[in-house]
Amino acid sequence: MLASVLLLCLSVPVTASESYSIADTFIGAGFFNWTWETFSDPTHGRVKYVDKATAMATNLSDSFLMRADNLNVVPPADPGRRSVRISSPSAYTDSVLVLDLWHMPAGCSTWPAWWTVSHTGPWPQGGEIDIIEGVNRNSMNLGSLHTTPNCNMIQTRNQSGQTVSTVCDASVNYNQGCGVEFTKPNSYGQGFNSNGGGWFAMQRASCGIYMWFWSRNDFTVPLEVVQGLSTVNPDPTLWGVPDAAFPSDQCDYASHFNAHNIVFDLTFCGDWAGSAYGNSSCPSSCEDYVDNNPKAFDEAYWEISSLRVYTPNA
């Protein structure tokens, strides 16, 4: 395990010599080996997910960009604006994910997410971990878990973010999950993009799930994160207090989380962005905005420098 577990999981005996090693690295065209999912959006968004060939032919993606269609008006009979949803070829359990991200989708009606979800399901069995998520003009990132019943978090814990909800059960509170709003500046949306992006990291271990964010100009970002080393064993004082902490004290992770695929997606409106649209200072209705304003989606794209997956050394 990472040495950071010394601070985060005091009840678990670990040593500073334990570490994670690189299992997979995705850079540029490496993302074309992911699964390009084309099913109907389960969050009921005004979106049409396209396959890899369509995305490449219509410039919805290239070696490192994944974008929504910003050229065409959406016909009323269509399911929605063309966009992308991709899933990693492998599934992971205990791991550390490190994402170097230059740009995330932003703007009215958008609902982008970088997350992990059970390889076997059916959802919510096996759990969901949202690392990057937000809607419309939000400026703060939301990290959250969604599970089957009997998984909860305490209100106050060792994190820099603000607890939004403590019940992870997806059947409660309209699938709000147990969420933490990041409080560091520029963790989401236009502020993140204007600042040159940054790094997100997520550690999944038996004692808990922890998330960090460092902006592009943050002098505290660990060298292990910036350099993408093949083996990481960071000093916990360099990683710092996580932005979001989900300790396993009141949640048996072994029964709520199994092997997860990693997902990037971008949908529009739907259960969250649509329901929050009226309070977002965005024009018109959400669906009308999506259908009739293609140039409004010039900023609706992911630009990924790299994604590295580390797994525990034996």
- pLDDT(165) > 80: yes
- pLDDT(279) > 50: yes
Domains detected in the chain: 5-312 (2.60.120.200)
Query: pLDDT by residue (tens digit) across 170-207?
Result: 999 999 999 999 999 899 999 999 999 999 999 998 88
Query: pLDDT by residue (tens digit) across 62-100?
Result: 557 999 999 999 999 999 999 999 999 999 999 999 999
Query: pLDDT by residue (tens digit) across 12-46?
Result: 333 333 588 999 999 988 898 999 999 898 888 88
Q: What is the pLDDT of residue 236?
A: 61
The 3-state secondary structure of the chain reads CCCCHHHHCCCCCCCCCCCEEEEEEECHHHHHHCEECCCCCCCCCCEEECCHHHHHHCCCECCCEEECCCCCCCCCCCCCEEECEEECCCCECCEEEEEEEEECCCCCCEEEEEEEEECCCCCCCCCEEEEEECCCCCCCCEEEEEECCCEECCCCCCCCCEECCCECECCCHHHCCEEEECCCCCCCHHHHHHCCCEEEEEEEECCEEEEEEEECCCCCCCHHHHHCCCEECCCHHHHCCCCEEEECCCECHHHHCCCEEEEEEEEECHHHHHCCHHHCCCCCCHHHHHHHCHHHHCCCEEEEEEEEEEEECC
Active site residues: 128, 133
- pLDDT(273) > 50: yes
Q: What's the pTM value of the predicted model, to 2 decimals?
A: 0.92
